[in-house]
């Protein structure tokens, strides 16, 4: 078959790109190694920057998000047993974030693609291959339900994540990667209980980091920092709730509602960037090109920004016969990626307990947090980065 853009990966970045291109009249096909149910079952981020909210609106898919999502004008930092609010809205000049789960974003995009009858190949497994993207006639091949498919296209968009086929298809000599692995992970629990607070709480404690977040007024997502060697199955619900309580302030402990976990898992933390993000007619986007620690809520939002730049570049190519956006895609994306990597690294380093930091590490973090919440300039820097830097 023939299409204009072959998109590898049916996660939120691939689906969002497909929707933006389709609305611009650009044919596209999505190829996904997993089933649609598997993609929807992945528990991921839940904080959307304003640019991500605006992109869903641009796709005509913002109605449910605005109806069910939770607009947040601030976050709380907990240290030395007390909470301090960062007023994102005031400090960033009127910006806010939206709490709306990545699963819901994916669901909205997937439903829209199905209604429009746009071509999507699910459950292709490890058969996805990228061909000739360094020339004028790239192709994607895959096998679905035992039947081989070859998709001829003008461009390939690699939105298939860290372990996908897209980046792996690039010659090693053409790629430079940067990686930092952190010596701990996040043990996360999803439960149908009301949130302990109406805004997110980021906690720095002598026992380690904790995060209190939510997906809705009746569903909460909580995390505690644990060593990498820990196993989620070794933690009972009771043990998790007990450890979370130990990392909260008195008021939060009193308001914490516990219940059986719907999902429990441990996520490692990593910083990763691949440069460049364009190779001939292949473009990398989202986790295929970069990963950030979840502390700064940047992963999905960075992917959305990549898609914004890429969709604009491809629309410019087809409508105006200009490749200026295509030629500038990698540079523009990476300028934003590295700023988000810096912020996520800084926020992670500030809020977590590092094994080799000792008592002085905790005191230095607390001193920086004291300065952060008492200085409008420092609080503004945090707020500007958290809500998303200008494009």
Q: Which residues are catalytic?
A: 72, 202, 294, 298, 386
CB 221 within 8 A of CB 188: yes
CB 226 within 8 A of CB 184: yes
DSSP letter string, 146-185: TEEEEEE-SEEEE-S-TTSHHHHTS-GGG-EEEEEEEEEE
CB 182 within 8 A of CB 308: no
CB 197 within 8 A of CB 255: yes
H or E, element range at 360: helix 358-374
In 59-158, where does DSSP find H-type helix? 63-68, 88-91, 102-115
CB 160 within 8 A of CB 9: yes
Q: List C-alpha distances in Å: 206 to 79, 86, 184, 300.
A: 9, 22, 15, 30
DSSP letter string, 10-39: -SHHHHHHHHHHHHTT--EEEE-SS-HHHH
b/e per residue 236-246 (b: at least 16 CB within 10 A): eeeebbebbee
CB 114 within 8 A of CB 66: no
Structure tokens at 121: 């190949």
Which sign, positive or negative, has the C-alpha torsion 275, 280, 283, 284? negative
H or E, element range at 334: helix 324-351
How far apart (Å, rounded) are the C-alpha atoms in residues 59 and 40?
A: 19
For residue 111, give every residue at least 6 positions away whose Cβ sits within 8 Å of its Cβ, in sequence order, or none.
none
């Amino acid at each position: 078959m023939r299409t204009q853009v072959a998109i590898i990966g049916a996660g939120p970045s691939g689906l969002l790109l497909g929707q933006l291109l389709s609305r611009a009249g650009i044919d596209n096909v999505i190829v996904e190694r997993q089933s649609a149910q598997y993609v929807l079952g992945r528990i991921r981020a839940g904080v959307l920057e304003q640019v991500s909210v605006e992109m869903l609106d641009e796709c005509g898919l913002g109605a449910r998000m605005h109806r069910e999502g939770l607009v947040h004008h601030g976050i709380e930092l907990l240290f030395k047993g007390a909470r301090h609010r960062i007023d994102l809205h005031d400090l960033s000049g009127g910006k806010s974030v939206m709490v709306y789960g990545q699963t819901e974003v994916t669901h909205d995009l997937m439903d829209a693609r199905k209604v429009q009858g746009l071509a999507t190949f699910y459950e292709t497994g490890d058969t996805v291959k990228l061909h000739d993207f360094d020339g004028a006639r790239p192709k994607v091949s895959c096998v679905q339900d035992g039947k081989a498919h070859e998709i001829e296209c003008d461009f390939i968009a690699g939105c298939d994540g860290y372990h996908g086929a897209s980046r792996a298809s690039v010659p090693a000599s053409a790629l430079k990667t940067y990686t930092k692995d952190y010596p701990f992970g996040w043990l996360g629990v999803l439960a149908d209980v009301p949130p302990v607070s109406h805004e997110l709480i980021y906690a720095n404690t002598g026992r380690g980091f904790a995060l209190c977040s939510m997906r809705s007024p009746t569903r909460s997502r909580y995390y505690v920092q644990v060593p990498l060697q820990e196993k989620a199955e070794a933690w009972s619900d009771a043990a998790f709730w007990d450890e979370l309580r130990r990392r909260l302030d008195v008021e939060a402990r009193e308001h914490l509602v516990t219940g059986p976990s719907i999902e429990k898992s441990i996520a490692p933390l990593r910083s990763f960037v691949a440069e460049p993000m364009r190779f001939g007619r292949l473009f990398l986007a989202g986790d295929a090109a970069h990963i950030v620690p979840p502390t700064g809520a940047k992963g999905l939002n960075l992917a959305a920004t990549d898609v914004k730049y890429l969709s604009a570049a491809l629309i410019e190519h087809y409508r105006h016969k200009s490749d200026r956006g295509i030629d500038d895609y990698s540079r523009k994306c990476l300028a934003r990626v590295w700023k988000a990597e810096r912020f996520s690294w800084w926020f992670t380093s500030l809020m977590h307990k590092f094994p080799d930091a000792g008592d002085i590490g905790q005191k230095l973090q607390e001193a920086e947090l004291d300065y952060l919440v008492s200085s409008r300039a420092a609080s503004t820097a945090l707020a500007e980065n958290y809500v998303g830097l200008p494009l």
